[in-house]
Amino acid sequence: MKTRWMVAFSTLALAGILQAQETAQAGGGVAVHAGGMGQHVMIRHEMGKWWQNPDVVSKLGLSDSQISQLNQVFYNHKMNLIDYGAAMEKQDLKLQSMLDADQPDEGQVNAQVDQVLAARGKLEREFTNMSLDLRKQLSLEQWRQLKTIRGAEGGPGDHFFMYFKQKGMGPGGPGMPMGPDGMPPPPPPPLD
């Protein structure tokens, strides 16, 4: 039972992160992914490539040099994000293959879950480093102004709001209510 919760959460996280890469290009919004575990819905609040928005450029007073540097930082990190996303997808595919077996080996499944989580960690770390490197291109005043522009919801890369929806599971549904931070709470202990 514990393994099933871990697999469900890992699959949810994987779907959200991979879908978020596509959503980030569009500047945020709602992404829906239907897969073997049900439908995953992820809402990502962010501003996409905010330094290419003329209104934001004007409000922040970004120079052409800063815009060029922001583009280069984004490009450099995006290359790694693509690689880490692919590595995570490969690890998840291995996990799914193990779970599809008639008699899954729990030890191997748990070890593979660790591999999925490690790959996900690399992806999250790279995304965080990209956010920090983008921020380094701004003056303190520009950073403060950007925080004001993006508002209380957070901004470039700060949040993922995800939930898992399958047969009544989801916000307020049985077994998977949402926590106060928009993420599912930890699974309950097994009833075994």
User: Is residue 174 in some structural domain?
Assistant: no
178 found inside a domain: no
Q: Could you tell me the pTM of the whole model?
A: 0.58
pLDDT of residue 188: 52
Please indicate, yes or no, if residue 119 is contained in any of the structural domains.
Answer: yes
Domain for residue 180, yes or no?
no
- Residue 93, domain member (yes or no): yes
pLDDT at residue 10, as a whole number: 52
What does the pLDDT read at residue 37? 44
What average pLDDT does the segment 171-192 reach?
A: 47
Residue 112 scores a pLDDT above 60: yes
Whether the predicted pLDDT of 158 surpasses 80: no
CA distances from 21 to 31, 52, 123, 173 (A): 10, 18, 11, 28
**Could you tell me if 176 and 4 are in contact, meaning their C-beta atoms sit under 8 angstroms apart?**
no
Residue type, 166: Q
Mean pLDDT of the chain: 72
For residue 191, the one-letter residue type is L
pLDDT (average), residues 87-111 = 96
- In this predicted structure, what is the pLDDT of residue 39? 39
Question: Is residue 176 included in any domain, yes or no?
Answer: no
Domain containing residue 57: 2-165
Cα(136)–Cα(94) distance, integer angstroms: 38
Does residue 172 lie in a domain region?
no
141, part of any domain: yes
Residue 115 has which token pair?
């591999």
Mean pLDDT across 92-107: 96
Q: How many domains does the chain have?
A: 1
Name, in order, each residue with C-beta under 8 angstroms of 189's C-beta and a sequence gap of 6 or more: none
Each residue's pLDDT tens digit, 49-98: 999 999 999 999 999 999 999 999 999 999 999 999 999 999 999 999 99
**Cα 150 to Cα 164: distance, rounded to the nearest angstrom:** 27
Residue 113 has pLDDT above 70, yes or no: yes
Supply 107's token pair.
């030890």
Mean pLDDT, range 97-107, rounded to an integer: 96
- Cβ neighbours around 33 below 10 Å, total: 17
